[in-house]
Chains A and B, each alone.
Chain A
């Protein structure tokens, strides 16, 4: 198989993988921030929040 085809095939896998990885990392960071903010709110105002609707 020619090198150019192998390189193109690698690009096909690598670029979407990078996008998926960056989305996943950002999603996890946001979820952690949300949990942190909710914990702060709970500490300040216990039994004040409906977590399901945030």
Chain B
């Protein structure tokens, strides 16, 4: 199969995924605003929760995929695993930023303050900075092999922030609600749970769609490098 055929198949898969994730996202939005009940204490502001939890979940997933990509790069030494790790960081940063901003907006309405230095929020802010630094440090290294090895090790170590952030609201005293594992601060009804599950599916599909688009960019970069190497060698 030629590179052009592979590109054509990739575009077909990308279009199918885009349509599917668009449809699921539309369903999730309709459910958030029409199907999910109005929460008794917070009112409509509680509906932020569906976007917030879903984007945080995808951010965590993306950073774990980065660690996996890094690990596979260190084991196999293939450039595609480095491309996967890098692409997943960029998409993950988008979703974690969404989680932090939507969480902050929810806090503004629920707590009366947009930001407080409690454990979950503090770890989220640190996590955000760690992965921005990942992208900055990559740009600072010129040698491609050294850059990929360094990024792989960095991505694996940085993934510690995922369990740390997940358990922060269970290990330390915090005002952040614990919804998913049955905390007392916020109870959800079956309709809320259905809406959350559809939102999680929609955001996960959006992640895969964006990841594939970002991976195509890395392939184009590799193609350019290949052309330049060939031109330089002639």
Known contacts A37-B231, A41-B234, A44-B234; A11 and B223 CB within 8 A of each other: no
Main secondary structure of the interface of B (DSSP, over half): helix
Instruction: Tell me, in angstroms, the Cα distance from A4 to B109 when the chains sit together.
Output: 7
Chain B positions 146 through 170: 1 when the CB is less than 8 Å from some CB of chain A, otherwise 0:
0000000000000000000000000
Segment with Cβ contacts to A, from B46-54, B71-79, B135-143, B186-194: B46-54
Assess whether A37 is in contact with B101, with CB atoms less than 8 Å apart.
no
A7 near B105 (CB under 8 angstroms)? yes
CB-CB contacts below 8 Å: A8-47 with B: 8-9, 11-12, 15-16, 18-20, 23, 26-27, 30-31, 33-34, 37-38, 40-41, 44-45
In the assembly, what is the distance between CA of A11 and CA of B213, in Å? 20
Q: Please, how many angstroms separate the alpha-carbon atoms of A53 and B230 in the complex?
A: 13
Interface size bracket, A side: 20 to 34
With contacts A15-B98, A30-B224, A34-B220 taken as known, whether A8 is within 8 angstroms of B106 at the C-beta atoms is yes
> How many of chain B's residues have a CB under 8 angstroms from any CB in A?
38
Would A5 and B94 count as touching, CB distance under 8 A?
no
B224 engages A4 (CB within 8 Å): no
Q: A-B pairs with CB below 8 Å: how many?
A: 91
B220 contacts which chain A residues (CB < 8 A)?
27, 30-31, 34
B210 pairs with A4, CB closer than 8 A:
no
Say yes or no: B224 contacts A33, CB within 8 Å: yes
Q: When chains A and B are docked, how far (Å) is the Cα of A33 from the Cα of B230?
A: 14
Q: Say yes or no for B217: interface residue by CB 8 A criterion.
A: yes
Residue of B nearest to A9 (CB): B51
CB distance from B39 to the nearest CB of A (A): 12
| Residue B214, interface by CB 8 Å | yes
CA gap between A48 and B90 in the complex, in Å:
37
Query: Chain B: residues with CB nearer than 8 A to chain A?
Result: 2-4, 43-45, 47-48, 51-52, 55, 90-91, 94, 97-98, 101-102, 105-106, 108-109, 206, 210, 213-214, 216-217, 220-221, 223-224, 226-228, 230-231, 234
Excluding A11-B98, A12-B55, A37-B228, 8 further A-B contacts by CB distance (< 8 Å) are A2-B109, A8-B102, A16-B210, A19-B210, A34-B224, A41-B231, A48-B234, A54-B223
| 21 CB < 8 A contacts A-B | A4-B105, A4-B106, A4-B108, A4-B109, A8-B52, A8-B106, A11-B51, A11-B102, A12-B51, A16-B210, A23-B213, A30-B223, A34-B220, A34-B224, A34-B227, A41-B230, A41-B234, A52-B2, A52-B3, A54-B226, A54-B227
